[in-house]
Chain A
């Protein structure tokens, strides 16, 4: 069941970091190679790497976040997860199951900030091809290890910088950044980079910490040193593996950099980047998003008042699990300005 590092469809989306869309890549013996420049990109410890550090501005944030996730690969596998178990877990997770259903079949998907790659692996069901990128090699090592052990042919991984993505513009049907942009030095700019990678008419989904619902996590972060990790709902109820619990606590309470965002922030980003709003998860209360059959159905974003009420209500729901909300949009036809 030996699986190649990249399926042909995914290989076709790659380009030289910093290069133009003409600088495609080929597989070489121990990594990737750009035929037009002759440059080689050897794997690092078996992990494809197309990472180019951010120059100047934001460099220290990126470096701190990178070294944090090198030390704490997130979300990590619980013990020895077989692919079948991962699929069962994903199918029983309403968010993951709805996401997969929304994506549909035979799609090319880019997951920015894939961490240890569970979602990447799950989304390659339905004959989708999914590229997971992250800056943490230690996270990617677990992702690639799972891929190779289970012979998964349509998920692939590479180390990349979200501000200098080594993939071609407009190459993907769906681009996802679930819980990632808020760890970059400028989430708005990072969004601008990832949205270019969606083809016109394609889907972009961003998951961010909510500025209202994240407050209790912030309060807990002040107390967790004294009261211990059991004050966290996820540690108490969701996680069975000790190492995984430790990593969750580090990610949530000791992260070197995080920013908080509202639905309206994202709507603004959408406007600036030629993206049409489709839906929000959890849905905006009182909007038709509440009854949408699919996460990717086109719905109205409600009024500013409805959005504030919705986000306040999240204090009683998603706040206990990290306060991550996702907004889904569709890139309008035509080039990004």
Chain B
């Protein structure tokens, strides 16, 4: 049985194809269209999924769309009515789009599909899931658990902003929900906006900025903006927010509460900005932990599955794992809306069609390597067209040679096999560096990623070595857990260095792997497994053999504001547009100095 899952029209559009309960392919549209967070109909992503499986639309049994647009329309209408006549301008702006596009979604989806020239589907095959059910399904079905509690948190989907649920065998049931406008995701996004970053994109920056600050404003947030109950349920005081009726997240009362207007992107970051970031992060963690405790008590489950955009907050996830009541935690790597495509397809297969589910040892996401791969012929054709100079390094030699380059502080673009699904690059579309280097963090930010100097980098570590470097000994294949660097790797910090404030903290060497040690000694860990990514595993082994260090810096293969690369040509262009030294595509190696 073939099910095609689609998510589109809000944030990250994506497609996924499931055959007999097995995920065959999944990809985000942004990688093909090269528009970050592209929310258009994911034509190219769907075409890719069909081609990967070697099928046409005629063979597809069901097409699942990840949410119900009419319910969202209902929420918009009711929200506008509740606040009327405020919000009229945004109402006037939004409604025509809704009437034209979103209500007529079924025919739109069918039309989009049939324009792909890969067979045809009728409207009867198109089904609509519930937004949070799709998220919950994406968290439970691929998880390694027979049974688990499920927690979904995001900005908003239809009405729900936070949902709890239960996964058991073939069924995922939603238990409780918190409804719009009360939303933990929106609270975080409001601060993202207020701190001068882009909503639905800059949340990572807030999380990365938080360790530079102190949670000074957490009491203010808890006293005024959000009322958190003991069980983790909450309400926002909507008089401080503007997202129901306006085109901004926060309003003048919010500004007054924190003593000034939102930061403009061009203004420098101040200590207050960092304290605000830390404060909203602390509140978010507190809410999530309380919610986990009550969910644990209500369901009596040992396992927890997480999805929804808030589940990308890997600092909070790390605390849930360490301090929360659940024994095991599994997080959908495409926790945002893109993952809804996988969720709705799996829900149709298991819940609706009663297909049996056999949980795997690790999980069914296959390392998230679900996107397109490119063979040597295509790689060389792309490079030849650009007039690139390259050499082909056969077999084992490749890993030795690249490990040597890395040990010499070279920055390496590592393009291998199938592209990752979800927001993280996990060793197939990655930029790699030596974590022992004291200049690597600054070099990567300023001359390769072209992004803010404060932003931290993540380590990729051999699974078998993770506890040698970090205070953690569990799988984190999707870079979704943050844990501290081991005490014995940390370095004495002088009194003068310890007294540094704000962004100045960046310049202190805190461990023997400084490039991936954040200012609070934390690291966002990716464990690398031989069975899901043997080539990356071998590279790490070769690096360890050469240097004694089983860790590499792993950052996504893109520059700021661009999607991660998809094709060999994307990789070449990104390589050339930055100060990367070496590019490896399969076994083909380019050196910048030879170009």
Contact = CB atoms under 8 A, between A and B. Distances in A.
Contact of B450 (A1, A87, A105, A151): A87
Contact of A88 (B447, B561, B578): B561
A106 B445 contact: no
A85 B577 CA distance: 14
A150 B447 contact: yes
Given A105-B387, A105-B595, A127-B595, A84 B451 contact: yes
Interface string B443-455: 1011101111100
B168 interface: no
Interface string B553-595: 0000001110000000000000011100000000000001001
A240 interface: yes
A83 interface: yes
B266 A105 contact: no
A240 B595 contact: no
Summarize A's interface: helix, strand, loop or mixed.
loop
A84 B446 contact: yes
A126 interface: yes
A240 B264 CA distance: 11
A126 B576 contact: yes
A24 to B, nearest CB: 22
Given A83-B447, A150-B447, A88 B560 contact: yes
A111 to B, nearest CB: 18
A127 B560 CA distance: 19
B577 A126 contact: yes
Contacts of B443: 1
- Measured as residues with beta carbon below 8 angstroms from the partner, the interface class of chain A is 10 to 19
A160 B439 CA distance: 36
Contacts of B559: 87, 91
B386 interface: yes
B560 A84 contact: yes
In this complex, which of B439, B559, B577 has the most chain A Cβ atoms within 10 angstroms of its Cβ? B577
Given A82-B453, A88-B561, A125 B445 contact: no
B386 A105 contact: yes
B561 A83 contact: no
A324 B67 CA distance: 50
Contacts of B386: 105
Nearest to B575: A127
A82 B577 contact: no
B449 A84 contact: yes
Nearest to A106: B595
Contacts of A87: 450, 559
Interface in A271-324: none
A34 B449 CA distance: 40
A201 to B, nearest CB: 15
A84 B578 CA distance: 10
A240 B266 contact: yes
Contacts of A150: 446-447
B445 A84 contact: yes
A125 B450 CA distance: 12
14 contacts: A1-B439, A1-B443, A84-B445, A84-B446, A84-B451, A85-B450, A88-B450, A91-B559, A105-B386, A105-B595, A106-B387, A106-B595, A126-B576, A127-B576
Smallest CB-CB A-B distances: 5 pairs: A84-B450, A87-B450, A126-B576, A84-B446, A125-B577
Interface of A: 1, 82-85, 87-88, 91, 105-106, 125-127, 150-151, 240
Interface of B: 266, 386-387, 439, 443, 445-447, 449-453, 559-561, 576-578, 592, 595
Given A82-B453, A91-B561, A125-B576, 11 more contacts: A83-B446, A83-B450, A84-B445, A84-B449, A84-B451, A105-B386, A105-B387, A125-B577, A126-B577, A150-B446, A150-B447
